[in-house]
Chains A and B, each alone.
Chain A
Amino acid sequence: QQPVQSPQAVILREGEDAVINCSSSKALYSVHWYRQKHGEAPIFLMILLKGGEQKGHDKISASFNEKKQQSSLYLTASQLSYSGTYFCGTRGVTGGGNKLTFGTGTQLKVEL
Chain B
Amino acid sequence: EAQVTQNPRYLITVTGKKLTVTCSQNMNHEYMSWYRQDPGLGLRQIYYSMNVEVTDKGDVPEGYKVSRKEKRNFPLILESPSPNQTSLYFCASSFGMRLNTEAFFGQGTRLTVV
Contact = CB atoms under 8 A, between A and B. Distances in A.
A42 B100 contact: no
B105 A91 contact: no
Contacts of A2: 42, 44
A18 B42 CA distance: 20
Contacts of B107: 40-41
Contact of A104 (B40, B97, B98): B40
Interface stretch (A60-68, A70-78, A95-103): A95-103
21 contacts: A2-B44, A34-B103, A41-B105, A41-B106, A42-B43, A43-B105, A44-B102, A44-B104, A47-B100, A87-B42, A98-B56, A98-B97, A98-B98, A98-B99, A99-B45, A100-B45, A101-B44, A102-B45, A103-B42, A104-B40, A104-B41
Interface of B: 31, 33, 35, 40-45, 48, 50, 56, 58-59, 90, 97-108
Given A2-B42, A98-B50, 15 more contacts: A30-B99, A32-B103, A41-B107, A44-B104, A49-B100, A87-B42, A98-B48, A98-B56, A98-B98, A99-B45, A99-B59, A102-B35, A102-B45, A104-B41, A105-B42
Interface of A: 2, 30, 32, 34, 40-44, 47, 49, 87, 89, 91, 96, 98-105
